[in-house]
Structure 1
């Protein structure tokens, strides 16, 4: 794969402070704050963040988040890499958890770090493709927009699981003991205990989309979601501008969602980019009806 297709990660080779210093076990003045720990936890769960996304996620000034992430980089707890220039000009930095940051979470006995200690690897060291990073950042934008809108209505989301947390193994065919896995891009739990499976589809590859939607359809129709969730999940397909439907059911995306609805899994919604970037929140149902997203999910 061409080098230009990879994110050129920067690693802090010789941090100026030790882990004992950072964790307050010495008299060193530089120690982790609660927000620093939240940032490390978020990077473990969601893989990548920009300072702008962190600012929105915690409703904090952008300058504050930019400073905190730069300091975590100087301490060797996160890695960073430049993204392509945006349409507005300028270049953003994207951050990922470093091995040293994972070690901090392990020492703090953060549950996910303890669960994943045997096989976790820094995303910055596993050959992060630029398209993969952009996919996860796009997923973040959708989840943050939903979280912001829910909070503005006085009903903040209860949790946001990343793809690895949200992955589930289920029996696809009980007669033949066939197992299958689903990996939603994210799962948001609303205050009403309504789970949302978020699928951010920017590739435009029909085969990949079809494989995912069939697996989710099988999972929902099987009823095995009841072992994990109090309510039947909604599957929300977020389609960026230039991919698929531009706000109406049509093409292969619409056809596959409609097919899923007709075979018994009814909780499918499709959002185009204007829904979460401009706040229109119009969603297309599997029968082609355009409805309000928040009304549909019984928010």
Structure 2
């Protein structure tokens, strides 16, 4: 089912709705039929469709579940006729004919099914299985057709973005995606000696009680200290370079739009010179201004000396 433009910032599902969504996705992966999956769980199809339209991550998982179901059903299908054996078909006029079976061809419908599955899963082999062909057939088509190569690249980019969006939503504490274990009774602790318990505490102390080092900056096995320091410095430089590129792109777009720089000094508009008054009229006891003498802040130099 193609995406219908779900919202990218929806109201999060509550815990009951999140559990219903996961049960529906499991049934959808099993049946490959939206209506049957909703009916088997006692839900209405329109309820799930509304949730899909409002949540982009749920829509991505919906499409991925359909791709998985189609791949499994195509792999389990064994009723396809063997090449050369006769089989019965129905012609466009509605008549039945006995024809010799032809090998399956990679037609436009198979290409579209593959691209739709790829935009949902970002997995070439799984998408090829969902379309009913081997992955090598689509790689060969990509080499032969520049248009298909372009569409395959765009579908892969879309699948990557949708999976990334679903992963980011799963990291939200309000998603209730992976917290089912917290509401169940914990299993009993297996029997162990005091030495085994202390060994477990020692192994997990850094991760539980201390701040664990991220995996991408850990020193690899067999890596020297110099190589480790060089790799961290290269990662830091690459991150700075990406930031500089993003800043340059934003500056280019700002200049093209004619917007002022947010980092420059703010230039305040000057009032009209005919509105500038050098002599205050608030004190009626002051002498009127002498136009032949310069004014400094509304005062004559002679007045300063008298003061």
Higher RCO (CA-CA < 8 Å; seq separation 6+): 2
TMscore range, shorter length: under 0.3
Structure 2-normalised TM-score? 0.21
More helix by share: 2
The structure number with the bigger radius of gyration is 2
